[in-house]
Amino acid sequence: MLDFVAAIGLVFAIEGILFAAAPNLAKEALRSASETPADVMRLIGLGSAVLGVLLVWLVRG
């Protein structure tokens, strides 16, 4: 459970750095995401989740 909380903290840190360092880029990314069809977003999310699980599995072994 501590690893999960640490992972959530890293997500917040990385997103915070993105919004602080390049707010215009972040706004454009959000605008682009809002215009992307739901089925494409679902596939991207599923692919990201699978990649994330594989990375954690490889690192934590």
Six token digits for residue 15: 């997103």
Q: What pLDDT is attached to residue 61?
A: 84
Range of the domain at 55: 2-60
Q: Which amino acid is at 16?
A: G
Six token digits for residue 18: 């993105």
Q: Residue 36 gets which letter from DSSP?
A: S
> Each residue of 11-61: pLDDT tens digit?
999 999 999 999 999 999 999 999 999 999 999 999 999 999 999 899 988
Total domains present in the chain: 1
Report residue 22: phi and psi, to 5°: -145, 70
Burial of 26 (0-12, 13-18, 19+ CB in 10 A): middle
Q: What pLDDT is attached to residue 37?
A: 97
